[in-house]
Amino acid sequence: MRKMLLIPTLGLIAACDTVAPVSGTGFNTPEYQAQREAELAGQGLTGNPLLPPEVISEQPLSAQGVADTQTPLNDGGANDIANQTAAVLANTSGQSASTPPVNNGTGISDEQDFEAVSNRRSIDDDAARIEQNRETYQVVAPSAVPERGADGQPNIVQYALSTSNPVGTQLYSRAGFNLAAKAERNCAQFASPDQAQISFLSNGGPQRDRKGLDPDGDGYACGWDPSPFRSAINN
């Protein structure tokens, strides 16, 4: 079976016109290079040589985009190439080659370009616009800050402004043992000193300290400091 397949293969190899290089000599021998250069120059070609441009058909591409022959380029330069390319794209896509693409972009403002703006309006136009803006300008008078609604919780801002004693200055008596340790343990239950101060005032503070949040009796629970509120109102 292998012999029967080998005989047709040898026949096809023998029918080729190009002579293969001798085994063992490789493709870099001077004889082979000279043969390849002659073939590339058109001297050693077998069969039909390359067709000159003047005999190529000028038939345009078909609607399916399959061309039977190549269309030669005119001598008009880049414009002819662009026109022929547009015609080919129009035939293949079914769209008109003369329809420009639609650009929906708004572009970039050129209001900062003096030359562009000066071409659109003059100095008198700008003066008229400034005068119009002055006529429509309105000054909004400040109004009183609305009062805080009653939400059932003490207002720590109002309390801070109503006091004047510094942090650590005792104003109220506190009785008991280990008040500092008890306050440290109870203050850990609050996320911030503001919340501790609100709870302290809601449960009888500052006169009474039912939860043990103000061991030194200064009226400020868990290290709460009224100084930022006082500074804000003074500035």
185-199 burial string, b = 16+ CB within 10 Å, else e?
A: ebbeebeebeebbbb
Q: CA 148 → CA 41, 46, 57, 139, 176, distances in Å?
A: 99, 103, 92, 27, 37
Apex 21 CA angle, 18 and 25, nearest 5: 170
Tens digit of each residue's pLDDT, the chain (235 residues):
444 545 555 555 544 544 444 544 555 677 777 777 777 776 544 545 555 555 555 655 554 544 444 444 445 556 677 777 777 776 655 544 444 444 445 567 777 888 887 888 888 888 898 999 999 998 888 887 767 666 678 899 999 999 999 999 999 999 888 999 999 999 999 999 999 999 999 999 999 999 999 999 999 999 999 999 998 887 6
pTM exceeds 0.85, yes or no: no
User: Tokens standing for 97?
Assistant: 């080659």
- Interatomic CA distance for residues 192 and 62, integer angstroms: 81
Do 218 and 169 touch, CB atoms closer than 8 A?
yes
pLDDT tens track for 189-228: 999 999 999 999 999 999 999 999 999 999 999 999 999 9
Q: In this structure, what token pair is assigned to residue 183?
A: 């306050």
Number of residues assigned to the chain: 235
Q: What radius of gyration do the chain's Cα atoms show?
A: 49
Residues 169, 204 contacting (CB under 8 angstroms): no
Q: According to the 3-state scheme, what is the secondary structure of 119-153?
A: HHCCHHHHHHHHHHHHHHCCCCCCCCCCCCCCCCC
Q: How far apart are CA 74 and CA 68, in angstroms?
A: 19
DSSP symbols for 146-211: PPPP--SS--HHHHHHH--PPTT---S---SSSHHHHHHHHHTTSSSHHHHHHHHHHTTTTT--TT
